[in-house]
């Protein structure tokens, strides 16, 4: 055997034994967690933003990790559940206990929370992010359909602090409130805004009633779309094909690098079924966008 033959044979053997290419990261961007019998994390109806809908079973951090293993997920971003209201202790506990598995965003301002004009809100947000390790908040103007506070000037100091902190705000809103979000997205470009549930659009309504303005918000580079399909669906039949045309229009306008995935039950639809996503698109939607938005390091 010549020296050249030896090198070629050795190189071929090394390649055959090499580890398979590392798959793209998979990140679920919105799962709730709660416990009902742990005295450290009591659920108090006077704080809950959904006091009539509190579950009587646990969906703990440990259980969520088991679901992540089942679905082969690398990371989950916890959306603080309404049962605890402004007491973010359990989400903080999960993020600090399992930092490789979890990030989280809390509840602070709005319906049944601290009033929008409370002067302590900026410092509360700073503590949640700097001391407690959360990445931002979920803000829900949807629960105040007739009261405009989201872009009220009393909120400006709060948003200014959020911009300085590099916060991520998940927004749960109704179609008629899209303009309020657009106002703040333009005013505070340093805040990353993620639109939850496709702004609860009515897929039977004309574009002028919310979906058109949602498409127009793509002009703000700090606005992202969470691809949740179950809420806008009229049929409620998995995999929610009646929402796919609207998802396609959002994809055409925002692009895969500004779209995020959430909820295990939609994972297969995004990964395998939606026909207009390319393999590279799926990598961004199922994880790469989230890695960037939440600054996740695996």
* pLDDT range class, residue 20, cuts 50, 70, 90: low
- Write the pLDDT tens digit of every residue in 206-258: 999 989 999 999 999 999 999 989 999 999 998 999 999 999 999 999 999 99
> Considering the domain 24-293 in this protein, what is its CATH number?
3.20.20.140
Instruction: Please identify which residue in the block is written with the tokens 């809100």.
Output: 121
Band (pLDDT 50/70/90 cuts) for residue 128 is very high
pLDDT tens digits for range 161-190: 999 999 999 999 999 999 999 999 999 999
H/E segment holding residue 252:
helix 244-254
The predicted pLDDT at position 1 comes to: 47
Q: What is the mean pLDDT of the chain?
A: 93
Query: Does position 4 have pLDDT exceeding 80, yes or no?
Result: no
**Domain range annotation of the chain:** 24-293
pLDDT category at 267 given cuts 50, 70, 90 is very high
Over range 277-297, report the average pLDDT. 97
Q: Residues near 267 by Cβ (< 8 Å), separated by ≥ 6?
A: 28, 71, 261, 286
How far apart are the C-alpha atoms of 288 and 296, rounded to whole Å? 10
Give the C-alpha separation, 206 to 211, whole Å: 8
For the chain, strand residue ranges (E) read 27-31, 75-79, 102-106, 136-139, 168-171, 192-195, 223-226, 259-260
Q: Can you give the pLDDT at residue 19?
A: 52
Average pLDDT on 125-130 reads 98
Strand ranges for 14-135 from DSSP E: 27-31, 75-79, 102-106
79 phi and psi angles, rounded to 5 deg: -95, 110
Q: What percent of the chain has pLDDT over 70?
A: 93
């Amino acid at each position: 055997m010549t020296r050249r033959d030896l090198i070629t044979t050795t190189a071929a053997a090394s390649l055959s034994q090499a580890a398979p290419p590392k798959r793209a990261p998979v990140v679920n961007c919105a799962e709730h967690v709660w416990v009902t019998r742990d005295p450290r994390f009591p659920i108090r109806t006077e704080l809950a933003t959904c006091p009539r809908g509190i579950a009587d079973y646990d969906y703990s951090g440990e259980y969520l990790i088991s679901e992540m293993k089942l679905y082969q997920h690398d990371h989950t971003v916890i959306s603080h559940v309404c049962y605890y209201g402004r007491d973010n202790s359990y989400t903080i506990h999960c993020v600090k206990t399992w930092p490789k598995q979890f990030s989280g965003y809390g509840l602070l301002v709005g319906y049944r929370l601290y009033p929008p004009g409370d002067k302590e809100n900026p410092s509360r947000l700073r503590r949640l992010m700097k001391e407690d390790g959360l990445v931002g908040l979920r803000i829900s103007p949807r629960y105040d359909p007739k009261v405009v506070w989201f872009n009220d000037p009393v909120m400006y100091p709060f948003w200014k602090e959020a911009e300085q902190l590099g916060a991520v705000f998940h927004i749960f809103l109704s179609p008629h409130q899209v303009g309020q979000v657009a106002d703040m997205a333009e005013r505070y470009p340093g805040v990353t805004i993620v639109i939850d549930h496709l702004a609860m659009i009515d897929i039977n309504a004309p574009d002028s009633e919310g979906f058109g303005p949602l498409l127009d918000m793509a002009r703000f580079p700090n606005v992202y779309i969470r691809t949740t399909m179950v809420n806008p669906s009229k049929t409620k039949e998995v995999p929610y094909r009646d929402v796919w045309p609207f998802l396609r229009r959002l994809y055409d306008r925002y692009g895969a690098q500004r779209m995020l995935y959430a909820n295990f039950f939609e994972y297969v639809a995004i990964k395998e079924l939606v026909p207009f996503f390319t393999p590279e698109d799926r990598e961004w939607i199922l994880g790469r966008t989230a890695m960037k938005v939440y600054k996740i390091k695996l």
